[in-house]
Structure 1
Amino acid sequence: MSGSTEQLSRKISGAKDLGGVVRAMKALAASSVGQYEKAVNALDDYLHTVELGLIACLHRASKGFPAIDIKPQHADKIGAVIFGSDQGLVGSFNEVIVEFSQKSLRALAGRVTQIWVVGDRAKALLAETGGIPVRGLEVPASLDAITPLVGQILLELEAAREKGEIWEVHVFHNHPKPSSAYEPVGRWLLPLDAAWEQKLHATPWPTKTPPQVIDGVSSAFPILIRDYLFVLLFQACAESLASENASRLASMSRAEKSIDSMLDDLNRKYHRLRQESIDEELFDVIAGFEALTRKKPKPSSDTSLAKTSH
């Protein structure tokens, strides 16, 4: 019995330690979700500002933007940027985005020639399919680390397009939803073609005063384009991180409930065994006491007479 209670005591202690780790990870995930969601909201305003700058350039340019819709001979080559996770405990986070991206890429007219994937776990899932070169990148550990990652991706995309390795570029990531949920989304990143220009052209200028572009459209346009692409990738990364931490928060909440339920069960078993052990000890004490205090039987009358006659 003592061995059973000792084993249960060790299990209870281990479950409490595990519960402490889960609660710490839950608190960290909850804090991270809020941080990345605030960044996403701030990026919406910044993206709108950049788009207004592009609209101003379009209004000032007599012949529209430079020729950005001319297709080269390698226009059928497609590149993709996929945001996943490095760490686990996120449920089916990586499986969802990898499956969604593969399905979306198969539906495109061209052929996928190169993939940039952020996160070792998503990279491992993509590597199992084979046939397409996969460039792995580390998931940023903080908001400050997103900027150099996005800068690196833009440089590599630009180099690959100059070499003729890709032309179209699509971005895939998980988008956060209310109640710690997420959904996979995809977006056309490059090229910025005539359809994109027409969309901007259809957007009215918010004031009656015509916009002015300092130093002219030719100098402002390339800078605004870089900012536009940067914001789109930064936003995709921040939304992916918010979704990842939301998924981890949900997983930790489920784990916490399971651990609490297991602790309740273990504590009930422990107290039952302890009570049974105490009852057995009490029975032994009572039985010993009764054995010590039990009166000896009196001698019979025949035996007394026999002794007297002698």
Structure 2
Amino acid sequence: MSSIELLQRQIHTAQELQAVVKMMKVLAALNIHQYEQAVASLAEYNRTIEMGLHVVLKATHTHDAHTQQSLSTCNVTRCGVIIFGSEQGMCGQFNEQISHYAIAELEKLKLSPEHLAIFAVGSRLISHLETAGYGIEQTFAMPGSLAGITSMVQEILMHIATWRDREQIGQITLFYNHLHSNTLWEPYKLQLLPLDGEWLQHIESQEWRSRTLPTFTMPSDVLVASLLRQYFFILLYRAFGESLAGENASRLASMQVAEKNIEERLTEFTGQFQQKRQTAITDELLEIISAFELSH
């Protein structure tokens, strides 16, 4: 194969890669938008849950002085950690970044392995955590689309219930990448349990904006448990949504770097091709001229 034919093949391959990278950029941008929209849509739902908690806390405050304390504290014998990574590659340092952050935070706790349970969401986290010496109790697959988040959240909630009831895990922390813009994200830590006492007090102190006073007929502890399940659902759903948005932002950034490299290679190949093509044309013309001069 001549050097010109080889360059033509390289140019064709680079152009095909360029088309693939551009498509991946478009898909990543679309995914970021839909996950951001999904997270934003939780705001009104979250407000409704907080209004329900406000009603219960207001109603039970004078009858049970320990209501908030029982909600916001617990006997912590073991700690549970849920770390969100990715199931797919080509997303830069996304998994390394959240793994290193979570490991650094866990080291501050100075817990022995028997007092720590870790769930990893996304198989690409496993190697980073195991290399650091942390065992993983269970791995969940990160959903590949918005439609898969709800079922995954429900599954994890069932495991959290088992953690609390059977394994005496009273403190649960989420680690995930929080999206700032289309190409910027940072690791984020959220304490799921125990509940923040200041947050509960803030909810109770809010003014009721309607003239109609709310009430409820079911037992307050049953209602609180139901509202908190919905609250935990919101927090986990948000963690999934923001992590997936961050993953796609990382992928978008990686594809932008790849696109730039491909463009530089295409420019290089095209320049070499034009130079060699011009040289070949010049050689052919010289041969024709030489043959003409010899014949005369």
* TM-score, reference length from structure 1: 0.87
Work out which of the residue numbers 285, 288, 291 in structure 2 matches 1:285: 288
* RMSD across aligned positions (CA): 2.0
Tell me which amino acid in the other structure corresponds to 2:117: Q
SS in 2 for 1:114: strand
SS in 2 for 1:152: helix
CA deviations over 1:114-154 (Å, ceiling 9, x no partner): 11111111122112122433411101111110011111111
1:127 aligns with 2:130: yes
Q: How far apart are residue 182 of structure 1 and its match? A: 0.3
Larger radius of gyration: 1
1:82 aligns with 2:77: no
Tell me which amino acid in the other structure corresponds to 1:98: S
Query: For the residues of structure 2 that align with 1:220 and 1:245, how far apart are their CA atoms?
Result: 38
Match of 2:188 in 1: 185
Query: For the residues of structure 1 that align with 2:286 and 2:27, how far apart are their CA atoms?
Result: 52
Work out which of the residue numbers 223, 228, 233 in structure 2 matches 1:230: 233
SS in 1 for 2:147: coil
Match of 2:201 in 1: 198
Q: Which runs of 5+ in 1 are unaligned?
A: 294-310
Match of 2:35 in 1: 36
- Matched-pair contact (CA < 8 Å) for 1:113–1:133: no
Aligned pairs for 1:1-310 within 5 A: 3-61=2-60, 62-63=63-64, 65=67, 67-69=70-72, 71-72=74-75, 75-108=76-109, 111=112, 112-192=115-195, 194-207=197-210, 209-213=212-216, 215=218, 217-293=220-296
Q: Which runs of 5+ in 2 are unaligned?
A: none
Q: In terms of mean alpha carbon deviation, does 161-170 or 283-292 score higher?
A: 161-170
CA deviations over 1:135-188 (Å, ceiling 9, x no partner): 111011111100111111111111122123522000011111124110111011
* Higher helix residue share: 2
Q: How far apart are residue 207 of structure 1 and its match? A: 4.0
Q: How far apart are residue 211 of structure 1 and its match? A: 2.6
* TM-score, reference length from structure 2: 0.91
CA deviations over 1:219-273 (Å, ceiling 9, x no partner): 4222111000000000011000011111111111121121112111101100110
CA deviations over 1:97-117 (Å, ceiling 9, x no partner): 111111122223755511111
- Matched-pair contact (CA < 8 Å) for 1:59–1:211: no
Identity %: 36
- Matched-pair contact (CA < 8 Å) for 2:29–2:182: no
Query: For the residues of structure 2 that align with 1:231 and 1:138, how far apart are their CA atoms?
Result: 19
Query: For the residues of structure 1 that align with 2:222 and 2:6, how far apart are their CA atoms?
Result: 74
SS in 1 for 2:144: coil
Size of the alignment, in residue pairs?
290
- Matched-pair contact (CA < 8 Å) for 1:174–1:240: yes
Query: For the residues of structure 1 that align with 2:243 and 2:37, how far apart are their CA atoms?
Result: 13
CA deviations over 1:270-292 (Å, ceiling 9, x no partner): 01100000100100100110111
SS in 1 for 2:41: helix
Tell me which amino acid in the other structure corresponds to 2:7: L
